[in-house]
Structure 1
Amino acid sequence: MNNKIIFLSAVLFSALASAQVKIGGTDGTPNPNAMLEVEATNKGVLLPRVALTSTTSFAPLSAHVQGMTVYNTATINDVVPGQYYNDGSKWSRIANSTDIPAVITANNGLTKTGNNIALGGSLATSTTITTTPNNDLTIATTATGITGKLKVTGLPATTAAQLPSDKVLLQDATGILKTANASDFAKTRNTTVYRAENDGAWSLLGLTIGGTNWSKINLQTSDTKLGNSALFSNGNYTVPSTGIYAINFEVQLEGGVDLGLLGGRNLAVLKNNTLLEQKMVDAVRVSILGITLASVPVTSTSINTLHTLTAGDLISFGAQGSVLDLGLLTDGKVSIHIYKISDL
């Protein structure tokens, strides 16, 4: 009899040691994928109830055990009652739906109100959003009234020293943001400005317009007083960019001038060797006791005007008459200035 009991015990022990186990239920066969199956319709599995001391301490266990699951009953340090699992170095609480709002925080540009997290808030650290050639960052806003606008506040102001290297943010026709050099938009960067003058030593270039002789003032590099001297060459100012330009041309005559030589003479501004604007030379005729003087002082004649010019136009300044007729002008002073005041 004893031998039979020993044999039966050995068989049962062998089965328990090598087979799956199922507890409860009407069918004694466990799920083939489960080492232990507990089946019930009105009961549950009760985990060991322990009092943890903190998430980093293994107590009351003797060591951290990866995969260990317990129900904590204590409220101390950073643990509260609830189900915890161990990852081998610390305890982590299994959160439920009511825990999520308390567990999740929002910062660094995000704000949490109740269960909602929204974009907006203070940055806690420097943040960079990087795009790739195939992925664009698009911020779409509405355009109703004064709301729905994209605003950036709190930006530092630039300084004069930083202006040459600072950038300006631009938007192209498709809405893509781009940058340009801030110095390109600075008032001090008007590269169209040119001013020159000469006290009577200028040269004249002959020109015929509609059968009438004209002479263009040909100022030299040394005559340039302001701007780039390369803008004026061979009697022509080359318009750098399209826009509206202010133009001034003045000739001052010194001493007595024979009015016979100046009669019917004009100063002119020319564009591409075509008259753009002209003005008769200012003079006065003085008579004493009925005798008209042939030589009188003449102060100055000037043309001040505004014109729309196109990049590449040649603007020149001249006087009516041949070079020989205008030889008297070498006793005077010529002054010109031209610059763009507005884009079209």
Structure 2
Amino acid sequence: MSEGPDRTPPRDALVRASSSLVMLEVEGRTASGFIATPEGHLVTSLHAVAGARSISAVMSDGVRSEVVQVVAMDERRDLAVLRLPLPDMVPALPLGRGPLPAEGESVYVLRAVAGPAPEVRSLEVRAVQVLGDWLTLMELTRTISEQASGAPVMDSRGVVVGVATAALANGRSLGLVIPSRYVLPMLRAMVTAPLAALEAPRRRAGRVRQVPQHPLSMLEGASPDALESIASTLGQAINVGAPAYNRGDVEGCYRLYARTAEQLIDERGDCPGAQRALRDGLLRCGELSDLDDRAWALRDVFDGLLDVIQRCLQARPAVTAPGRKPPPKRLLN
């Protein structure tokens, strides 16, 4: 891992970017953001502003402005676009449209701080993760601070390739970069909403997850092929069900998860531990009256199985053939 002040993008790119950075003051905490259009569209991480009743944007020259409009939110990719009340208040920082940096390449997180010069942190790309059709992201070699969530990320040419976000996966802190291509469609939204629109994602983010921590022994006797097949089926269900849930189709999400659980119970007699976990999950759903609670109950079951399958396959490297795909990582909900 390399990190240091001697490895930075071109100086002129940093100078241009500095005036576009915004430090967000969100009810006693800070986050980062940047202006992406002349109309005042402000890009940041959704989790950094979710539930906020007031947001102050502090520009690099110290000018302060209250943010009162929400342009777009993407819960799946942890992105939010807000709007400053006055256009042309801050220069726009154009987003790149080209390919992502590859594994091992350096990127630069530009965090807005008090004063004209940003904090520039050099990190390497650990991996480019493809989580399905809905998301490809970059995982960094080190974590980033929560205050850097929403910061623009540059490549060595000075092109903004994405938005930094601090995340958790299986209890582990991660530094991630959400590519710019997911932000671009959000900038075209024509309808704005008040800050109260940020309350719904806060409620969902505040849900207490009950993901079971299974022992490896529950998968004893199951072959790697069987485990990977189960993980693939669960991952496909999540990649379809989660977007449906985020669109408001909670019932469709739950029905898909329930059908997937029933299918695996019927077909995977070669993995009784997984069958048992899925049966228990369906029985628990029968005790819940709310569809939202049912959908999350099965999602917790799925994530618990994905976690134990991943740990099991990692613990048996001699059995796993070279080139075999690992089960999908759950980096973002």
Q: Do they fold alike, i.e. is TM over 0.5?
A: no
TM-score normalised to structure 1 length = 0.21
TM-score, length-normalised on structure 2?
0.22
**Which protein has the bigger strand share?**
1
Whose radius of gyration is greater, 1 or 2?
1
Between Structure 1 and Structure 2, the one with more helix by share is 2
Which protein, 1 or 2, shows the higher relative CO under an 8 Å CA cutoff with sep ≥ 6? 2
